[in-house]
Structure 1
Amino acid sequence: MLQIVGVHGIRQGASATTAELSGSWQESLEEGLADSGHAAAVGPLRLTVPSYQGVYPKTATRYMRLGSDAADPDEDAPVDEEEEAFILQALAAYAPSAEAEEDDSPMAGRTLGAGRLTPRLLRRAQAVDRVAGKGVTDRLLWLVREAHGYLRHEETGAAVRAEVKAALAATGARMVIAHSLGSVVFYDMLSRGEVPAAAGGGPGVVSLITCGSPLSWLAVRKGIHTAGVPLSVPAGVEWTNLYAPNDPVNKGGGLSPLAVGVTDIKVDNGKLNAHDVH
């Protein structure tokens, strides 16, 4: 039986258990294989998607809440200076020309309501929307703030990686499918050498499929990748990246301009749910 481990993004982990995530992903994968005509060649498979909602902070932002006991939106903590700098950098990497579009007048960003975002962030969000399209930042901010929780807090990141590592060890899976922030998590694991080796030695994972990956703009963040160096995976790992033209998270493009050894495949995931894992 082909064993596969999936690494979910934040939204798939909002309240689902490992069993629910695994069942949902496997159903989609089996439907896709049946439609492609390759189901018989692949044979039986089992897809395990470990949920890390139990180790991810419940102090989630108003853009994304994890778990049924998450805080009320009105009780969300405001963005502090360190997180503000992170979001500004992330949005600038997503739309470099947006900085030139910002309104630098004294009251800019101070007349858009209370909320938890600072005037600087509101100005940057408005500028990104002018460059990339209205409403883009509304779809990006949940990912950026939750990514901050992973990339800037070592205890959180280590706990998330431990859940994935345990699933790999328990299943012996040599294929990984990673979606959205999950691709950042697994790339981080590869970079840190935290992926269990195969029983007989050598790479434990030989096939990686990323989908809807924000690695093109989050990889420059501290602790995940060195700026100016191409993205890459260890020798012996075949890396395939799926991207949808209407997905705002990957800006509708693949990773090959920034990575070595990756095969980009363009997919049609519609317009309304272009970032959806299915």
Structure 2
Amino acid sequence: MNALQVIGVHGIKQGSSATTAGLSSKWQKTLDAAVAASKHAEQVGPVELTVPSYQGAFPKTATRFIRLGPDEADDAPVDEEEEAFILEALASYAPSALAEEDDSPLAGHTLGVVGRLTPRILRRAHAVDQVAGRGVTGRLLWVVREAHGYLRHEETAAAVRAEIRAALTATGARVVIAHSLGSVVFYDMLSRGEVPTGHDGGPGVTTFITCGSPLSWLCVREGVHTPGAPLSVPAGVEWTNLHSPNDVVNKGAGLSHLAVGVTDVVAYNGGVAKAHDVHRYLAQDAVLERIAKARAS
């Protein structure tokens, strides 16, 4: 039995040293272990998972300082446009936090990133923590910064999509598993018609699995689809969305209330600290079921 080709689209917090070979190996080991322990092993069969790294496409700006460390980032401050994006993202995540926002000079300084973020961001982040739970904004800011880098910088976004398209073309994969920001990237590719077509002229990718997706955030959706319209994928693409109740990135909920043609599946990944972990999502039975179905089709 030939190996079924699968493309993984990674999310944030990879670091500049995360290579395609390294990411692919880590995802492959998790998936192989899940298959071996699953009742679906025979139906899934051998799988070859490729995770193209797009970290090199992101500029080394101040938004990467918190994620990669001072040796990996330039000293450029957060500009007004990025500040506005971050403030909007945090407000949309926890609207009630706006009433709790503290205007005092020291508000938010306990986040430990003074000098890299503006006072307005620190105040709002502190307010969101008060409403959503301590430490939530520390996780959210990882996503928000790289989402901004993708959604508001077309040259960066085009380079990211080019990496994914090259991997799809090279492997002929019909299955895509996209985690976190990766779900935004691949949804954007589907919307733009940038996914290679199949040999029959139909969609080259027929199975789209999203895990821990931030597409429920308005500021993210506005960047990749028509405002006011529901999220959707092209005909012939089966979309399954896994979400964990404790995952702060997907806000503990699915996408079916915002999208047509999506099947939401709850993934019980544990507490907040691990709920967004890609390997916990990859090990879910629903992922294996979708892969087995793709092989049979």
Length-normalised TM-score, structure 2 = 0.86
Structure 1 gap ranges (5+): none
Q: How does 1:1-278 map to 2 (within 5 A)?
A: 1-12=3-14, 14-59=16-61, 60-65=63-68, 70-71=72-73, 75-104=74-103, 107=105, 109=107, 114-217=114-217, 220=220, 222-271=222-271, 272-278=273-279
Q: Secondary structure at the match of 2:188?
A: helix
User: C-alpha displacement at 1:263, in angstroms?
Assistant: 0.8
Structure 2 gap ranges (5+): 280-297
Taking the aligned partners of 1:255 and 1:227, their CA distance within structure 2 comes to 16
Taking the aligned partners of 2:218 and 2:53, their CA distance within structure 1 comes to 22
Aligned length: 273
User: C-alpha displacement at 1:99, in angstroms?
Assistant: 1.4
Q: Name whichever of 252-261 and 53-62 sits farther off.
A: 53-62
User: C-alpha displacement at 1:222, in angstroms?
Assistant: 4.7
Taking the aligned partners of 1:111 and 1:15, their CA distance within structure 2 comes to 30
User: C-alpha displacement at 1:13, in angstroms?
Assistant: 5.2
Paired residue type of 1:137: T
Q: Name whichever of 247-256 and 51-60 sits farther off.
A: 51-60
Q: Secondary structure at the match of 1:64?
A: helix
CA contact (8 A) 1:245 1:266 kept: yes
CA contact (8 A) 2:88 2:219 kept: no
Taking the aligned partners of 1:30 and 1:95, their CA distance within structure 2 comes to 38
Question: Residues 220 and 69 of structure 1: is their aligned pair in 2 closer, same or farther, counting only changes over 3 Å?
Answer: closer
Q: Which has the higher contact order (CA 8 A, sep 6+)?
A: 2
Q: Which residue in 1 is equivalent to 2:282? A: none
Taking the aligned partners of 1:69 and 1:45, their CA distance within structure 2 comes to 37
Paired residue type of 2:93: Y
Task: Give the root-mean-square deviation of aligned CA atoms.
Answer: 2.0
CA contact (8 A) 1:151 1:222 kept: no
Q: Secondary structure at the match of 1:265?
A: strand
User: C-alpha displacement at 1:115, in angstroms?
Assistant: 2.1
Whichever structure has more helix as a proportion of its residues is 2
Taking the aligned partners of 1:6 and 1:141, their CA distance within structure 2 comes to 23
Question: Residues 240 and 13 of structure 1: is their aligned pair in 2 closer, same or farther, counting only changes over 3 Å?
Answer: farther
Length-normalised TM-score, structure 1 = 0.91
How much identity, in percent, do the aligned residues show?
Answer: 72
Taking the aligned partners of 1:261 and 1:87, their CA distance within structure 2 comes to 30
Q: Secondary structure at the match of 1:50?
A: coil
Taking the aligned partners of 1:18 and 1:220, their CA distance within structure 2 comes to 26
1:129-148 Cα offsets, whole Å, 9 max, x none, are: 11100111111112111111
Q: Name whichever of 121-130 and 175-184 sits farther off.
A: 121-130
Question: Residues 268 and 39 of structure 1: is their aligned pair in 2 closer, same or farther, counting only changes over 3 Å?
Answer: same
Question: Residues 69 and 47 of structure 1: is their aligned pair in 2 closer, same or farther, counting only changes over 3 Å?
Answer: farther
CA contact (8 A) 1:6 1:176 kept: yes
User: C-alpha displacement at 1:274, in angstroms?
Assistant: 1.0
